Structure 1
Amino acid sequence: MNLAVTDVRLTPILVADPPLLNTQGVHQPYTPRLIVEVETADGTTGLGETYGDTKYLELARPFAERLIGRQVTDLNGLFGIADEVSVDSARVEDQVDVGGLRGVQTADKLRLSVVSAFEVACLDAWGKAAGLPVHALLGGKVRDTVEYSAYLFYKWADHPEGVAAERDDWGAALDPAGVVEQARRFKERYGFTSFKLKGGVFPPEEEIAAVRALAEAFPGHPLRLDPNGAWSVQTSLTVAKELGDVLEYLEDPALGTPAMAEIAAHTDVPLATNMCVTTFAEIKEAFTRDAVQVVLSDHHYWGGLRNTQHLAAVCGTFGVGVSMHSNTHLGISLAAMTHVASTVPNLHHACDSHYPWQSEDVLTRRHTFRDGRLTVSDAPGLGVELDRDRLALLHRRWLDDDGPLRDRDDAAAMRVAEPGWVTPAVPRW
C-alpha cells in the first residue's frame, strides 16, 4: 500500500446550533467547523474535524500544502509542519477564546488545534489502508464502550426573532424545573446517567437550586457544574459548601491556577478544568499546587489523540483524574474521542459531548448513544463514512454567509437580543 498523501481537501461548514446560554452570551444559530480529508496514493481517504473559525482555516491551508507527499504514518512530522506555519500573533496572542470558553488562547494552542484534525485524518486513512481501527493504532482498546454525560444548558426556546435559524424541539430551560425536564429528556432519549450543567449564566443561588433539583430528581446520579470561571474564590467556596454532598466535581469555578489552588485548599469538592490546564507547560504549576483534581482533555486543542494519551499518562502519574471536555462538534470528532477514550486506562469519569445538541452532521449515519454510552467501532479507521451531499449543503451555507457566522462569537449573538450586552467581567459573581 502507498500511504503518501496526494491530496488534502479542506471544507469549512456552518452547522445549526441551538440557543444555548453561557456566561459570555448565547450560541449563534450556526457554528463553524472544518472538515479535513487526506487522500493517499492508493486512493484511501481519511477524515478529520476541528474548529472552523477563520483563524483556524487560515492555518489549515498552508498546513495542507506542506502535507502533500508525506506518509500518513509520519504523525510526529505533523508537529514539524505546524512549526513552519506562521500565525498572526496579533489576532490570537493573549486573547480569550470566546467560542471555546477555554481560557487564554495563544499561537501555539491555535496550531495544535489544527494539527489535531490532520492527525485524526491520517490515523483514519492509515487504519482504513491497514484494515485496523484507530484504537488499534493507538495501542488497543481497554473498554468496548465509552460513557458520556448529558450536557445540560440554560437555554432559550428559540433564537431571537428575525434571526434565520433551525428550530429544535428542546424548548426553554431557564429555571430549575426547566433544567430537570431537559435532563429527563436526555435520560429518556439517550440513557445518560450523569449530568453536567453549564453555569455562570444566573446568580449562583439560582444555579445551586438547579443542581439541588437535579439531585432530588435523579438521586445517586453524578452531577457536575461548570460556570467557566465566572465566580470569585469566595463565591466558589460558598457553592462548593452548598453542593458538596451532591457534586462529582466542580469545573473551573474561578479563572486561573492561583485561584483554583486557593479554592482547592479550602474544599474537599474535586475541581476539574479545561481552562487552566490546556497545554503540557501548564501542568507543573497546577499539579504541584494541587489546583485541580480532574483534567478534562480535548484532543482538538491538545494536538491530537496521541497527545491525549500522553496527557492521561501524566495525570495518572500524579494521581490526577482525567476525562474529556467537549465543544460543539460533529460525528467525526465524536468518533475520534471515542477511539482514544477507549485506550485510556485511567478514564474514570464520563466524557462530555455536545453531540446530542447537534441536529446536523456530515456522516451517512449518526452515532447512537445507548445507556449513555457509545460502542467503540472495530471497523477500519474511525469507522465512519462521509455524506458528501450533506457536506456540500453545509459548505454552501458557509459560502452564502456574509461573514459574521464564520467566527463564533457568543457575545455578538447575545447582542442581537440585548443590544447593550457586553461580555461580563470576571469574576462575574
Structure 2
Amino acid sequence: MTSHVIRQVRVTPIAFRDPPLLNAAGIHEPWALRAIIEIETASGLVGINETYGDLSMLQALAKASPALNGLSPWALSDMEARVAALVRPAAAASEFLGTHVSLAPGTHVSKTVAKVTSAFEVAMMDLQGQLANAPVVDLLGGASRDRVPFSAYLFYKYATHIDAPSSSGYPVDPWGEALTSAQLVTQAQRMIDAYGFKSIKLKAGALAPDDEAEHLLALAKAFPGTPLRIDPNANWSVETSLRIVEKLRGVLEYYEDPAPGLEGMAAVANASDVPLATNMVVTDFAEFRRNADMGCPVKIVLSDHHYWGGLRATQRLSTLCSTFDLGLSMHSNSHLGISLVAMTHLCASVPLLTYACDTHYPWQDDEVIEGGRLAFDEGSLRVPMGPGLGVTLDREALARLHDNYLSCGIRARDDLGQMKKYDPSFTGVQPRY
C-alpha cells in the first residue's frame, strides 16, 4: 500500500555522559556519541533505531538515506542492495586510518556498509512490527527464550574526567575510582546489587597484566562460583597471554581477545585449554571462514548487530556457530535503550546463546526512550512484546541529548587522544605488555 511506503529518514546525533573508563586504547571521553534513526512512512508511522554517532557514520547515513524513499518497510533486500551501491568503505577511510588504536571493528571503515544496513534494518523492522502488530522477535522467527541474560561489565576507571570538572555542570561520577582489587570488588558488588547480574567481565589491558590477574582472582574469591571473563583487547603478547592464563587456571569462563590478530589468538589456543572469545578477529563472515580454515582457534564469537549487518545477519552467524560447534554471545559498546532492546529481541530469537551478553548500560545514566531506564530482573531483560521494538522515543530527551551533541565538541571517539591529556607519553601501541 502506498500509504506505508517510506517517505523520510531522519538522523539525529546525540551525546550522553560517559565515565572515565580505562581500556587498552586509552580512556573514554566525557561524552559518548550515538545517532537516532527515524524512518517515517507516508501514513506517518515511524520506526526507530540507535546506532553509531561519529561524523563519518553520520555522513554515510546521510548519503544512503535518500535510497529508502519510496521503499516498502518490508523491502529489506532492496534496501541492502541500495545501501551497498551508495556507500563505499573508502569514503570514510581518512577519518580513521592511522589516527588511533581501535578496540572494536565498529569504528573501522570496512564495516561502513554493514553498519548503515543494520541502522536501517532495525528501524524498518520496527515499522514492520507496528504494521503487523507483532514484536520484532516474532518477525525473526519467534522467541527461543522470554528473557536474555547480561553480565556485569567492570572497568578500571579514574574518579573524574580531567576535562569535565563538576564546576562546569558535568555531574560528579557516582562510581568513583577503580584501580585496586578492593575498588573492583566494590564496583562489582554495587553493579550486582543493582542489576542482579550472574556473571562478571573485567575490561583489562589497562594496567600491568599481573596486577589485573590478581584483581580477577580477588573477584573470584569475593564472588565464589560466579562465571568470570577477562578482556585485554589484544593488548598482551602471546607470551604474556599464556603466562596470565596459567595464573587464572580454573577461574575463567572464557578468555577474550588476549593477543593481537587471529594468528596470535591461535598461538594462545594451541597452548591453553581455556576457550577463546572474540569481537576483534571474527567480525564478519570472511573472518569466520578464516577462523574455520585454521581449525577454529576462536571458540566463542561475540557478535554485534551494529557492525555484523543487522539482526538477520547475526541469525545467520548463529547458524554457522551451531554448524562449527562454536559458542555465541554479544558484544557491547556505550549505548542507550534502543540498542539494548534490539539486542534483546535478537538474542531471544536465536536458539544458540551460550553466554550472558555484554552491556555498557549500567555505565550510562541518560535515556532516550519513553518511560526512562530499562529495568533488569536478576541480570536479565524480558523481551518487549509490544509491536515492533516495543519502545518509543522520548522527544524531550532526544532534544536534550541532541543539544549535548551540539555543545560537547566531540565528533569522533578518540580514547587515545583523551588519554594523552592524562599522560602525554601514552602511545596506545599494541600489544603494550
Native 8 Å contact 2:269 2:298 kept in 1: yes
In structure 1, the residue corresponding to 2:224 is in which secondary structure?
A: coil
The 1:250/1:338 distance shift into structure 2, 3 A limit, reads same
Native 8 Å contact 1:18 1:28 kept in 2: yes
5+ unaligned residues in a row in structure 1: which ranges?
none
The 1:77/1:98 distance shift into structure 2, 3 A limit, reads farther
In 2, the alpha carbon distance for the partners of 1:107 and 1:79 equals 17
- 2:53 corresponding residue in structure 1: 52
Native 8 Å contact 1:3 1:73 kept in 2: no
1:213 equivalent to 2:214? Answer: no
In 1, the alpha carbon distance for the partners of 2:331 and 2:164 equals 33
In 1, the alpha carbon distance for the partners of 2:97 and 2:319 equals 29
Deviations 1:92-122 (A, max 9, x none): 3883795861259654412211211111000
The 1:99/1:323 distance shift into structure 2, 3 A limit, reads farther
1:196 to 169, 180, 201: 201
In structure 2, the residue corresponding to 1:392 is in which secondary structure?
A: helix
- 1:392 corresponding residue in structure 2: 399
Supply the RMSD in Å over aligned alpha carbons: 1.7
The 1:103/1:337 distance shift into structure 2, 3 A limit, reads closer
The 1:332/1:90 distance shift into structure 2, 3 A limit, reads closer
The 1:97/1:381 distance shift into structure 2, 3 A limit, reads farther
1:343 to 336, 345, 349: 349
What does 1:218-367 correspond to in 2, within 5 Å? 218-289=223-294, 290-365=296-371, 366-367=373-374
Deviation at 1:264, TM superposition (A): 0.5
Deviation at 1:3, TM superposition (A): 2.6
In 1, the alpha carbon distance for the partners of 2:99 and 2:362 equals 23
- 2:414 corresponding residue in structure 1: 409
Deviations 1:280-300 (A, max 9, x none): 010112123222010000000
Letter in 2 for 1:39: E
Hey, which bits of structure 1, 4+ residues long, moved more than 4 A? Answer: 96-100, 103-106, 161-164
Native 8 Å contact 2:328 2:355 kept in 1: yes
In 1, the alpha carbon distance for the partners of 2:299 and 2:220 equals 22
TM-score, with structure 1 as normaliser: 0.96
Native 8 Å contact 1:20 1:156 kept in 2: yes
In structure 2, the residue corresponding to 1:406 is in which secondary structure?
A: coil
Deviations 1:210-260 (A, max 9, x none): 110010001110100000000111111111111120100010001111111
Deviates more, 1:70-79 or 1:8-17: 70-79
- 1:427 corresponding residue in structure 2: 431
5+ unaligned residues in a row in structure 2: which ranges?
none
Deviations 1:165-222 (A, max 9, x none): 3333111110111111100001100001100000000111001011100100011101
TM-score, with structure 2 as normaliser: 0.95
Q: What is the total number of aligned residue pairs between the two structures?
A: 426
- 2:117 corresponding residue in structure 1: 115
In 2, the alpha carbon distance for the partners of 1:42 and 1:426 equals 52
